[in-house]
Structure 1
Amino acid sequence: MTDFEPIEQFCRDLLLRTAAPERARLMRAIGREIRKSQSDRIAAQRDPEGAAFAPRRPKPDRGRKKGKLRQQKMFRKLRMAKSLKAGGNGDEIWVGFGGRASQIASIHQAGLSDAPAPGQPKVRYARRVLLGLTEPERQRILDLILAQAAPR
């Protein structure tokens, strides 16, 4: 049992008593908030537990100059709003990737193997957890729900 469990149960009961349009609006707002925090964390190159992502694996040096891509942060485009989607309705909130970004993210999230480009041999990618809730994010969600219930 976590410290948040009694509060989470209270919030579940509170949400069930909230009118459907108001609940849907709250769920969408929470989804946007989570999407932004996930995007910020991916930009900081951290997993939900706060550990740094595994670095890019070194490429064999064949007398070439060091490429700029290797010097940049990973997942620059995955954290953009067009790839990292969020939404919700009265019953659920979801945050995830769409299209090709979802394939890339799932490979890294689970540490699977994939060919970097068509025709190339498969490479095993390091496990880099992109999506997951941290304790501050859970606290923020509870704060948003409780703020919704507060008298105005």
Structure 2
Amino acid sequence: MDDFAPIEQLAGNLLQSLSAQERRSLLRKMARTIRASQSQRIGRQQNPDGSAFAARRAQEGGGRLRRRGQIKRAAMFRKLRSTKFLKSGSTDTEAWIGFTGRAAAIARVHQEGLTDAVTKGGRKVRYARRELLGLTEPERDLALDMLLDHVAARALVE
């Protein structure tokens, strides 16, 4: 990651050379693209480093997620990664991707491996750490490519 420091510095300078409106538009486009990529990665149940999420614990008493004796792995974070909860946005100085509402609290518990009650007033359980949000190397490269493409297209017009 340290190898990218000079390139990221150059990218920051290029970004600052754009007008506020152009920056806002480009950052919005980057945020949407990376949000979609994050959602797909969460669906594949992978951490940003490429490792698999910690497996779900076996549910006591069957649980409603059992089908033919096995937990449906695809059910984990299915709703949480939808655009209703996983949002992206930008200003002229930053782009962000994050969860909203109660989903943010659920995501934080999993992101940091915290303790939480399974049901309201229920017993507390320590959840395994699953990094829902975090940039992967391909996403960093994609953001840099989007910036360079935008600057190159702008240079051709001028």
2: CA distance, partners of 1:79 / 1:66: 18
Aligned counterpart, 1:7: 7
Q: TM-score, normalised by structure 1?
A: 0.93
Aligned counterpart, 1:67: 66
Aligned counterpart, 1:87: 89
1: CA distance, partners of 2:65 / 2:99: 30
Q: Matched residue pairs, number?
A: 151
Aligned counterpart, 1:35: 35
Q: Structure 2 stretches of 5 or more lacking a match?
A: none
1: CA distance, partners of 2:61 / 2:79: 26
For the aligned residues, what is the CA RMSD?
A: 1.8
Counterpart secondary structure, 1:3: helix
Give the 3 Å change call, closer, same or farther, for CA 120–13 of structure 1 in structure 2. Answer: same
Q: What's the CA shift for 1:119?
A: 2.3
2: CA distance, partners of 1:18 / 1:130: 31
Q: What's the CA shift for 1:72?
A: 3.7
Letter in structure 2 aligned against 1:128: R
Q: TM-score, normalised by structure 2?
A: 0.89
Query: Aligned residues: percent identity?
Result: 50
2: CA distance, partners of 1:15 / 1:60: 52
Letter in structure 2 aligned against 1:95: I
1: CA distance, partners of 2:9 / 2:19: 18
Aligned counterpart, 1:132: 134
Q: What's the CA shift for 1:122?
A: 0.5
Counterpart secondary structure, 2:87: strand
Q: What's the CA shift for 1:120?
A: 1.1
